[in-house]
Amino acid sequence: MANLRRLRDGAGDNGSRVEAIAWNEDGTFKEVVGNRPIIGCSLLVGAVTARSYSGQDYWLTTTVTEILEERDGYVKFKTGNSEYEFTY
């Protein structure tokens, strides 16, 4: 199971759904291009199905701007406004 956490406050989500999402120039969905953080894409992590009695089903980052560290099962990266740790 994947885990995504924002470093400043621990917010994020976990689950088996992991999608690196590319966007069109107008900000609409273009395509899913992978299952790890990719520069220029947003990262979505969460549940494959809706969670009962939960306040959220997934976490979607803003666009990834930089990969800070990457090793087996771990990626630390920056978005336009935050730093994250992603484990899988």
pLDDT digits (tens, 9 = 90+) for 33-62: 999 999 999 999 998 877 666 678 899 999
Domain that holds residue 31: 2-87
25, pLDDT greater than 70 = yes
| Mean pLDDT of all residues in 73-82 | 97
| Mean pLDDT of all residues in 5-34 | 97
What's residue 49's pLDDT? 79
Q: How far apart are CA 40 and CA 17, in angstroms?
A: 19
Total structural domains within the chain: 1
- CA trace torsion 50, 17, 5, 28 (10° rounding): -90
